[in-house]
């Protein structure tokens, strides 16, 4: 049986860093968001978001599937 050794060459990657919001959007991403803004119905998105949050909040157990949602 061989000896077990631990590779610590990536130890720096495991250290904590300051939280951030992530990368700044590129100009292409900002332009695309501006072009699609008129195509999104925010009421429908908000309603769907509330429904999905409610569904997720009421899940009991790991992997619970509600048959009434996806028959």
**Which structural domain range is residue 35 located in?**
26-57
> Which of 2 and 27 is assigned the larger pLDDT?
27
Read off the pLDDT band of 67 (50, 70, 90). low
Domains held by the chain: number: 1
Residue 47 lies in a domain: yes
Read off the pLDDT band of 7 (50, 70, 90). low
Read off the pLDDT band of 6 (50, 70, 90). low
d(CA 23, CA 45): 25
Residue 30 lies in a domain: yes
3-state SS string for 4-21: CCCCCCCHHHHCCCCCCC
Residue 48 lies in a domain: yes
Contact call for residues 66 and 55 (beta carbons, < 8 A): yes
**Does the pLDDT value for residue 4 go beyond 70?**
no
Token pair 């599937």: residue: 65
pLDDT (tens digit per residue) in 19-49: 888 889 999 999 999 998 889 898 999 999 9
**pLDDT, position 28:** 96
């Amino acid at each position: 049986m061989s000896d077990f050794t631990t590779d610590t060459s990536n130890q720096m990657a495991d250290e904590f860093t300051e939280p951030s919001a992530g990368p700044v959007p590129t100009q292409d991403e900002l332009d695309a968001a501006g072009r699609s803004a008129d195509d999104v119905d925010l009421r429908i998105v908000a309603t769907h978001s509330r429904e999905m949050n409610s569904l997720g909040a009421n899940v009991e157990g790991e992997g619970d599937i509600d048959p009434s949602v996806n028959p």
